[in-house]
Amino acid sequence: MDEALLRSLTPSVLAILVRRGADFAAAEDAVQDALVEAVRVWPADAPRDPKGWLVTVAWRRFLDATRADTARRRREDLVEEEPAPGPTPSVDDTLQLYFLCAHPSLTPSSAVALTLRAVGGLTTRQIAQAYLVPEATMAQRISRAKRTVAGVRFDRPGDVATVLRVLYLVFNEGYSGEVDLAAEAIRLTRQLAAAIDHPEVSGLLALMLLHHARRATRTAPDGSLVPLAEQDRGRWDTDSIAEGVEILQAALARDRLGEYQAQAAIAALHADAPTAEETDWVQIVEWYDELTRLTDSPLVRLNRAVAVGEADGPRAGLAALAELSDSVPRHAAVAAYLHERDGDLATAARLYAEAADKAPNLAERAHLTRQAARLNARRSGR
């Protein structure tokens, strides 16, 4: 059973049903039924035209459900208009499906869940497991999202920036359960890049590939975090790095800079350095300046302070950090690092402990706690 093929066909089959007149929620249910049937039938009797087979079965499931709903005249009219069997249309509505699943009326969590279900072809159970919530909770979230976009038609352009934000949210979830969401986000972004010629789509794909290339080195065997400077660069995925850099260079050559291209350029500079000491921090600061101009994000300014500290010394980094509110997430951790580099171990240890109390997850909390303990041990001479 080629699960990858099924998942790759899901969005185009769903889009065909919606274009034929099925509302999104009913069409999505019908496609899921067709996928279940494919899993049952294909191993013994694989179709010559997998996409056509799925469209036919899904449309029939939709019609069966429609016939049972005699109270709705519009759906009954659709039954009489069933298209004749034949090749499926060549038009690809996958891009519109991305826009629909990232509709502005949806919350980020709902948009992510709907994208993984409708475009990614994942089951509700797989999505629930990836996000560590009960399957019933995820089913309710997806149902609400489907109802929200049920009346939206494929007749207006969508917002590419919103779609990219949703895909980046998926990527940042990483891995949990049987579904690798980082790999899934890369697959979906590749699919989007094939459907739309947009430099920021390429920028996001490059960024994902460059970050994903370092994945195997981000944690130690005991699960503890490994900072970038301490990672084993010999274990980085050079093929992903090369592909990411190539995609990024092509995007930058179009001279339509966006935030994902700028982030990818920073990631490429880290990937290009043979050792942490050889990192081109001056160029990284310049790219953070571009990124600040594009987004004016406090988190970007926070990361820029780190880069300034590396390029111009820790006191320059602390001066840049002083321009930010200490309410910015991870502010204390950055301040601790810069104070440590400046030789103020007492302040650094205190700030590491403070940052640990505010850490968003257990792994980061443990890492920051170890940093505080390390400095306290150094100060006491142990």
What's the mean pLDDT in 353-361?
A: 93
Query: What pLDDT does 132 receive?
Result: 78
Q: Tell me if 291 sits within 8 A of 266, measured CB to CB.
A: yes
Q: How does pLDDT run across 222-237, given as a tens digit for each residue?
A: 889 999 999 999 999 9
Q: Which pLDDT does position 71 carry in this prediction?
A: 47
- Mention every residue, 6+ apart, whose C-beta is less than 8 A from residue 153: none
Q: What is the mean pLDDT of residues 321-334?
A: 95
- The predicted model gives 95-101 an average pLDDT of 84
Q: What is the pLDDT of residues 106-121, one digit of tens each?
A: 888 889 999 988 888 8
Over 50: is that where the pLDDT of 214 sits? yes
Where b means 16+ CB within 10 Å and e means fewer, 172-211 reads ebeeeeebbbbebbbbbbebbbebeebbbbbbbbbbbbbb
* CA 332/CA 342 separation, integer angstroms: 15
| CB 260 within 8 Å of CB 204 | yes
In which band, very low, low, confident or very high, does the pLDDT at 69 lie, cut at 50, 70 and 90? low
CA distance 59 to 120: 20
**Listed range (19-28, 275-284, 342-351) with the worst mean pLDDT:** 19-28
**Is the per-residue pLDDT at 38 higher than 50?**
yes
- What per-residue confidence (pLDDT) applies to 317? 98
Question: For residues 148 and 143, what is the distance between their CA atoms, to the nearest angstrom?
Answer: 9
Helix (DSSP H) and strand (DSSP E) numbers for the chain:
19, 2
- More confident site: 73 or 159: 159
What is the separation of C-alpha 107 from the centre of its chain, rounded to a whole number of angstroms? Answer: 15
3-state SS class at 175: strand
Percent of residues, the chain, with pLDDT higher than 70: 89
Q: What is the DSSP letter of 117?
A: I
User: Which contiguous run of DSSP H or E holds residue 26?
Assistant: helix 24-41
Tell me the mean pLDDT in the region 130-137: 86
Q: Provide the pLDDT confidence category of residue 179 given band limits of 50, 70 and 90.
A: confident
pLDDT of the residue at 90: 43
What pLDDT does 312 receive?
A: 97
The pair phi, psi for residue 175, each rounded to 5°, is -130, 130
Rounded to an integer, what distance in angstroms lies between the CA atom of residue 15 and that of residue 94? 6
Q: Are 177 and 77 in contact (CB under 8 A)?
A: no
What is the pLDDT, as a whole number, of residue 155?
Answer: 62
Cα separation values, 175 from 132, 133, 139, 356, Å: 11, 14, 20, 23
As a whole-number percent, the residues of the chain with pLDDT over 90 amount to 59
On average, the pLDDT of the chain sits at: 88
With a cut of 70, say whether residue 136 has pLDDT above it. yes
